[in-house]
Chain A
Amino acid sequence: MPLTDDDLRGSAYRLSGAMLRMLAADGLNVDIVGVPDREDADPFAISIQLDAEQYMSMNPDRLTEEFNEIRDAALATKRESDPAGVVDATMIDLQAWWTGDAANAFFDQMYRIKTCIETQYEFTLLAAQAVGMMYAVNAQFRASCQDLMERTADTCEAVITTKGTSPGFQWSSVATSLAKAAIDAIKDLDPGKVKDWTVDQILAGAAHALKPEPIAGAEAIPVVEGYTSARDRLFLAYEDNLDQIREWLGTRRDELADSTDTIPHPLPSSTDVDSPDFRYEAFSMVGEPVAIAAEVERERQRYVDEKARPDGVIARRLADGG
């Protein structure tokens, strides 16, 4: 599970205390308000707390909730939309018994409904996958940030106990590449697997790609500078990964927009009995003589006329909602 906001606040509190003690032990006082004195301690501690709040820029609980909701929406779209196979049954009957332009238009429409359900399912799973990426990046970012704060606090304590002698640590990249490794691991996932996963499984998948790097420090000022530069690199890496997720989403969005044939189209007027374009020939039964075409046209016209009458049977039925 990702670190909580309170975990990060706790580490920030420990770090600010350790850093102030280290600076004092090294004969330095923090000077934020002009004259170095005790009044500077609170703004210094607040600045570390503000760092921690930057690390809380997304809420893992909300992302978990969003992931579950979007994944469930995808599953509902696929599994609950047509459990009785109405679309398939309609396609079979249309193909077997009905012929003409309008019949073909209905058949094509049924095919598009089928592909629409599948496409909506797949792309909704991709949305869930994006949330999984956000979650994993955020969780790793929080872990890296806490790691940075705790290791920096350890280094401060080491500087204090060795009375300013370098404890022998060296600053390094402080895990700033972690989030990128996490996102690379997730965006190549098979979307089909996402339907059965939880966000924590996605995080575990990302964790395999991660190799934490040790950090280190030296005497008081280099420790403070080491912390701030590592924090800045970490934050830049975090923003870079958020940008990657945004670009990935943009590409999926473009692909969805291009899938124009996977959504039902408006039907042509030849399918509409209200239109004079409707003809029996456009929707005729296989084996049924077209001789009934004239009768169909008469009944169609009667039907349209009745529908137009406010007191007609059809108009009343429409007013009642079918």
Chain B
Amino acid sequence: MTTPGFRTNVDELARHAAALPAVADALRKPVAVLAEHTATPRPVRVAAVSAMEREYGAFTDDLAERQRTACDRIEATAEALREIADVYRRVDGQG
């Protein structure tokens, strides 16, 4: 037998687990912009411009990769919390 507060807190846990993927979805939206690089068209190639643009591209790629990784891990965290809530609901006789 669980205490009365158990059901309430497990329900809250499930609610948070259900809400967290929206955070990941929202964070995923700017990733495409960060990962997209359109080279500046130019009539003459200037090595210093190319080198600087490569560094800029690498920096925004790093940002995009971090944000993508963060989204994946937020989703995994939400899923882990949801599964705990599922198991605890069974313990509470709801499953």
Q: Do A and B come from one complex?
A: yes
B49 touches A57 (CB 8 A): yes
Q: Are B5 and A287 in contact (CB-based, < 8 A)?
A: yes
- Can you name the residue of chain B whose Cβ is closest to the Cβ of A293? B91
B16 near A89 (CB under 8 angstroms)? yes
Across the interface, A90 reaches (CB within 8 A) one of B20, B51, B87, B95, namely B20
B40 adjacent to A62 (CB under 8 Å): yes
In the complex, number of A-B residue pairs with CB atoms less than 8 Å apart: 192
Give the distance in Å from the alpha carbon of A246 to the alpha carbon of B46 in the complex.
Answer: 14
Contact flags B67-81 to A (C-beta < 8 A → 1, else 0): 101100110110011
Bound Cα distance A267, B77 (Å): 7
Give A81 to B23 CA distance when docked, in angstroms.
5
**Judging by beta carbons under 8 Å apart, are A246 and B52 in contact?**
yes
Q: Are B41 and A59 in contact (CB under 8 A)?
A: yes
In the complex the two chains form, is A252's CB within 8 Å of B59's CB? yes
Which of under 10, 10 to 19, 20 to 34, or 35 or more describes the interface residues of A? 35 or more
Q: Which residue of B is nearest A119, CB measured?
A: B66
When the two chains form the complex, which single residue of A57, A82, A131, A292 contacts B91, counting CB atoms closer than 8 Å? A292
Residues of B within 8 A of A (CB): 2-3, 5-6, 9-10, 12-13, 16, 19-20, 22-23, 26-27, 29-30, 33-34, 38, 40-44, 46-49, 51-52, 55-56, 58-60, 62-63, 66-67, 69-70, 73-74, 76-77, 80-81, 83-84, 86-88, 90-91, 95
Q: Which residues of A contact B (CB under 8 A)?
A: 50, 53-54, 56-59, 62-63, 66, 69-70, 72-74, 76-77, 80-82, 84, 86-87, 89-90, 93, 97-98, 102, 106, 109, 113, 116-117, 120, 123-124, 127, 130-131, 134, 238-239, 242-243, 245-246, 249-250, 252-253, 256-257, 263-267, 271-274, 278, 283, 285, 287-289, 292, 295-296, 299-300, 302-303
